[in-house]
């Protein structure tokens, strides 16, 4: 039987690779795997796309964090339609002052991708082998499998597969994931939905939490110090829609999904949907517009019949 390899303690590190550098300074380490976690409708996908645009273009993420390792980005957005992904990328590119057509950014357009099936794992690995991305973005984890997320024995093989992609093809992997309900007071990693394997897996992890009119971003790294939490928001109303760092949260404009009360109920509903970054659920619309449920349902029915809005799995959205 072949023995395991040995090395004298004094010789450890003699052939070690150079210290890990940043892919995006202070946000994501080079070749790091990790989680971008947060509550529903808190801008997780927008932040993931901002990172994707930055790495593909070499422009600072959130207009502040320098990209040290520019390169190709491969993106799979399992929840959003391709036109919505395009619109968001256009907005972020515009905020960065670049053209989308200049980016080395590719979108996987397959209608489904299941990491718990051997066939799809093979297809994804072959795509990564050919494309050789610097960053692979998978959004969100819940749409990529049919396993029990609370069972470590089922989660670990999927995460191990993604780790193998990183090591084999030298690509960073960003996995968008949700947090548990009622976990607002927990630390970011502890709040992640499912097995603790998800938190332990990450080399770089980002967590978004809603705080009033702004979003609070927390960062953690396995092998580097993290900066203090900072605030993100949409300081400028209208398009392009892109997250930005807010140095003074008190100066934020009112939430974009909250329509002025002087408008008619019909107009308030439409304006709230038009300004939202993601589809809004019935409860979110009722809160934003302050309209009785029966009235709101009637307005949504009318707007849908007109072809102005549509209903998706995540809620209601304006047809662009």
Domain regions of the chain by residue span: 20-251, 265-318
Beta strands in the chain (DSSP E): 22-24, 28-29, 33-38, 73-77, 105-107, 135-139, 172-178, 204-211, 214-221, 230-233, 244-245, 309-312, 315-318
In whole angstroms, what is the distance from residue 175 CA to residue 159 CA? Answer: 10
**H-run or E-run covering 283:** helix 282-289
Looking at domain 265-318, which CATH architecture does it have? Orthogonal Bundle (1.10)
Check residue 271 and give its pLDDT: 83
Place of tokens 């976690």: 37
Question: Facing residues of 106 across strands?
Answer: 74
Residues recorded for the chain: 320
Whole-number pLDDT of residue 145: 96
244-245: strand order across its sheet: 105-107, 73-77, 135-139, 172-178, 33-38, 204-211, 214-221, 230-233, 244-245
C-alpha to C-alpha distance for 202 and 158, rounded to whole angstroms: 13
Cis peptide before 37 (omega within 30 of 0): no
**Among candidate residues 224, 56, 37, the one with its CA nearest the CA of residue 136:** 56
Whether 56 contacts 104, CB under 8 Å: yes
pLDDT for residue 18: 62
Residue 86: CB atoms within 10 A of its CB come to 14
Predicted pLDDT at 219 = 95
Residue 85 backbone dihedrals phi, psi, to 5 degrees: -60, -45
Pair 209, 37: CB distance under 8 Å: no
**What 3-state DSSP class applies to 58?**
coil
Local mean pLDDT, 10-residue blocks, the chain (320 residues): 86 68 95 94 93 97 95 96 92 92 95 96 98 97 95 97 97 94 69 93 94 84 91 68 80 48 72 83 82 82 82 82
Classify 212 as helix, strand or coil.
coil
The per-residue pLDDT for 255 is 47
SS3 141: helix
Q: Determine contact, residues 96/63, Cβ cutoff 8 Å.
A: yes
Site of tokens 């070749």:
31
d(CA 137, CA 315): 23
Q: Assign domain 20-251 to its CATH superfamily.
A: P-loop containing nucleotide triphosphate hydrolases (3.40.50.300)
């Amino acid at each position: 039987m072949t023995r395991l390899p040995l090395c004298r303690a004094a010789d450890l590190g003699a052939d070690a690779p150079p210290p890990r550098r940043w892919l995006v300074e202070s946000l994501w380490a080079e070749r790091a795997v990790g989680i971008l976690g947060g509550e529903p409708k808190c801008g997780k996908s927008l932040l993931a796309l901002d990172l994707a645009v930055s790495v593909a273009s070499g422009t600072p993420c959130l207009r502040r964090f320098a990209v040290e390792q520019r390169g190709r980005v491969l993106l799979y957005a399992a929840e959003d339609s391709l036109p919505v992904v395009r619109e968001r990328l256009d907005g972020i590119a515009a905020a960065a002052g670049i053209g989308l057509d200049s980016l080395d950014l590719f979108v996987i357009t397959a209608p489904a991708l299941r990491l718990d099936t051997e066939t799809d794992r093979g297809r994804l690995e072959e795509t990564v082998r050919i494309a050789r991305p610097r960053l692979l973005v998978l959004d969100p984890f819940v749409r990529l499998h049919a396993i029990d997320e609370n069972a470590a024995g089922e989660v670990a093989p999927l995460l191990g597969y993604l780790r193998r992609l990183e090591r084999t093809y030298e690509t960073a992997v960003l996995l968008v994931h949700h947090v548990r309900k009622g976990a607002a007071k927990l630390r970011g990693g502890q709040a992640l939905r499912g097995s603790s394997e998800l938190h332990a897996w990450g080399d770089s992890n980002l967590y978004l939490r809603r705080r009033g009119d702004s979003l609070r971003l927390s960062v953690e790294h396995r092998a580097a110090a993290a900066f203090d939490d900072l605030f993100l928001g949409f300081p400028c109303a209208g398009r392009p829609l892109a997250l930005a760092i807010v140095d003074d949260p008190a100066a934020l404009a009112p939430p974009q999904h909250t329509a002025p009360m002087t408008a008619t109920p019909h107009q308030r509903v439409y304006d709230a949907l038009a300004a939202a970054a993601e589809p809004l659920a019935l409860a979110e619309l009722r809160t934003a517009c302050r309209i009785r449920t029966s009235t709101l349902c009637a307005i949504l029915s009318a707007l849908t019949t007109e072809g102005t809005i549509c209903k998706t799995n995540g809620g209601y959205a304006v047809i662009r």
